[in-house]
Structure 1
């Protein structure tokens, strides 16, 4: 299969008997055969006891994504390099009726230039070292990460009961531990050649990875909050946290360690966002007591339908098509100055989040509370001040042993 869990043979690393796989998706879900093959391989990893697979399931590196997995051993490969990545939903005190989308997009373009205060103090308040990747805090990163301004499209009675307002505005932030998690992952891989077998949680190496993992999870949560703080400052609004739900992490439980590989870790009664795409609806849901059947996991988003390389042959073949990809049917705007990323993150790259929510509801894992439409999606903006500075910066070239200033 294309994305193997490890380079070693399965006879060296897999269990003799595969773990139980519970599938929480219907025949209507778009599930690739490669993802099912990876699911089977994951069920044979050492220590794995049970797997819950969700309707956003799709192939990934080191195993399928959209999975909660219970194991007696720690499997850092399954969590990957974006440890602690998650979705955070915030409410703004800025009313929908006052919103001008073009003006909001202009302000959000400068999101990452907004001040966020004393970073060392914020890290200390989060129980983290004061110099821990401080320069990256409040930044979104690449790939499928974003900060999105949203408005309610549909609201159930339960949504009103938890304070959601169809005349309000919301921020959905998707980001993780940035270079911090990538460093922890690369160092772990370099230090342990047989990592496909996992780590003994009682060992020194297992305890060390867990400690680093916990720091990444806390840092990622703080990062999402500071992204929202910057967005709110750009929009001149105050904000309140509604939900902060990670989906790349490990949590201890009474039977071992629950690994969430692209699956939202939730408790009964907890609110959670399920992201759509920049041209489709996202959803706010309430986890029910039924999530105990799915290792306290649910989908965190729609899940990819087509990989990044494939998208370059499907959409955005010229400038006009790419510009169309930056708009949606609600008049929404996407801020993304990376042409390749515009194509790779097109709405058609993703599954139907509505079908994902329907499957989860039919399985008794969630109750839908609201759907949210995307109005401004921030992914990546060129720093215009930096571009201007570079344009004006003198360059020097050597001619005949002398320096010449060139503009």
Structure 2
């Protein structure tokens, strides 16, 4: 059963949280859902099993309203996860990690052979900070062989998973609104949606550019994405605005739900309906703040442990603080998140992957503490 509480007075929207009693959802996240439900025009708030508190609005939620609220999408408009098949003759994690490109260094816009949305070139082809990553992963278990075969994937195959967004473009769009209207609704919905759509296209382009950079660096052929799903966006559906913040569209498409660099991730077939905002979870979801993860992690883990969280895997991260902030223990159990989606009929697991090389930020001397202010997201 879903964890549901509904206010029927007409002053507040319904709230449904798709989490089992065994799943821990922070009080602050529930409270944020209730505050969002009280906004003018709000119809329904659906919390995913990875629900956790965000800045002003919950992360892991799909929020339907007759009013468009830019702050419910947040600053990283277009953030999403793409999956690219990879073919390699030899799999040596240490050597592959050493060959990963510097995804903190932008590409030259002149080298991009397609139109760059909004003409935004800052950070082009870079991964960003926070929960963003590029990960070479191995298919561990195939759970729905027929569906996995549609992607030409089977056990032992390799994929590149890229999680990133629109970098500074989405932040600029949100700031242009909040500096005038704060957390209020969009005054010119058409203008916001046009800028939003540019950021969504930019995020997709950025993920493709990073995948191409990694493929070239490790000696693999470039490939098209088999999955590319945005989880920070708004769409007009049935005459209403469906805001997603850390929630992936789950209405008939396949979605990669990220675990941690020390656990499985899952490709699932989404089949969520209106009560769930046609959405599924986007990741494991944080269970610790970054400050708590740093404090507890330093008492529990060594840097070397965090660089090799699984046998046969390597984490590329020149920022030691980020290593602790993004430790696997800072996140909820991905198996529990997937289990909740299955229990509530929102998704069917297709296959699972395990990390081989996870890139967070370059291993370069003197860069371990740079650009910290540019981190984005709280999700992985």
TM-score (norm 1): 0.83
1:206 to 189, 200, 207: 189
CA spacing shift, 1:116–1:240, aligned 2, 3 Å: farther
2:161 aligned partner: 172
Deviation track 1:315-339 (CA, whole Å, cap 9, x = no partner) reads 1359x71221111223211111111
1:226 aligned partner: 209
1:145 aligned partner: 132
2:376 aligned partner: none
1:240 maps onto 2:240 in alignment: no
CA spacing shift, 1:116–1:287, aligned 2, 3 Å: farther
352-361 or 182-191, larger mean C-alpha shift:
182-191
Kept in 2: contact 1:144–1:345 (CA 8 A): yes
Deviation track 1:241-281 (CA, whole Å, cap 9, x = no partner) reads 1100101110111130100011012331x111000001111
2:13 aligned partner: 19
SS in 1 for 2:217: helix
1:307 maps onto 2:299 in alignment: no
Deviation at residue 144 of structure 1 after TM alignment: 0.5
The alignment covers a number of residue pairs equal to 356
Deviation track 1:145-204 (CA, whole Å, cap 9, x = no partner) reads 000010011112244332222131101111001011111111211122xx433125xxxx
159-168 or 224-233, larger mean C-alpha shift:
159-168
Looking at structure 1, the residues matched to 303 and 28 of structure 2 have their Cα atoms a distance apart, in angstroms, of 29
Kept in 1: contact 2:103–2:125 (CA 8 A): no
Q: Equivalent residues in 2 for 1:94-105 (5 A)?
A: 94=88, 98-105=90-97
Q: Equivalent residues in 2 for 1:238-317 (5 A)?
A: 238=221, 239-268=223-252, 270-288=253-271, 290-317=272-299
Looking at structure 2, the residues matched to 44 and 112 of structure 1 have their Cα atoms a distance apart, in angstroms, of 40
Deviation at residue 113 of structure 1 after TM alignment: 6.0
SS in 2 for 1:343: helix
Deviation at residue 212 of structure 1 after TM alignment: 1.1
Name the larger-Rg structure.
Answer: 1
Kept in 2: contact 1:116–1:226 (CA 8 A): no
Kept in 1: contact 2:93–2:356 (CA 8 A): yes
Kept in 1: contact 2:101–2:213 (CA 8 A): no
CA spacing shift, 1:252–1:321, aligned 2, 3 Å: same
SS in 1 for 2:115: helix
1:161 to 127, 146, 149: 149
Kept in 1: contact 2:103–2:127 (CA 8 A): no
1:345 aligned partner: 326
Looking at structure 2, the residues matched to 235 and 145 of structure 1 have their Cα atoms a distance apart, in angstroms, of 20
1:331 aligned partner: 312
1:57 aligned partner: 51
Looking at structure 1, the residues matched to 255 and 217 of structure 2 have their Cα atoms a distance apart, in angstroms, of 25
CA spacing shift, 1:135–1:199, aligned 2, 3 Å: closer
Kept in 2: contact 1:110–1:234 (CA 8 A): no
Deviation track 1:182-237 (CA, whole Å, cap 9, x = no partner) reads 11111211122xx433125xxxx222211111111110110011111111111111
- Structure 1 unaligned blocks of 5 or more: 1-14, 388-407
Deviation at residue 100 of structure 1 after TM alignment: 0.6
TM-score (norm 2): 0.88
Kept in 1: contact 2:140–2:156 (CA 8 A): no
1:93 maps onto 2:87 in alignment: yes
1:190 maps onto 2:179 in alignment: yes
Kept in 2: contact 1:147–1:172 (CA 8 A): yes
1:107 aligned partner: 99
Kept in 2: contact 1:16–1:44 (CA 8 A): no
1:69 to 38, 44, 63: 63
Looking at structure 1, the residues matched to 236 and 247 of structure 2 have their Cα atoms a distance apart, in angstroms, of 16
Kept in 2: contact 1:114–1:233 (CA 8 A): no
Looking at structure 2, the residues matched to 310 and 115 of structure 1 have their Cα atoms a distance apart, in angstroms, of 35
Kept in 2: contact 1:337–1:382 (CA 8 A): yes
Deviation track 1:60-102 (CA, whole Å, cap 9, x = no partner) reads 111211000101111111111101101111111225xx20111
Looking at structure 1, the residues matched to 309 and 246 of structure 2 have their Cα atoms a distance apart, in angstroms, of 26
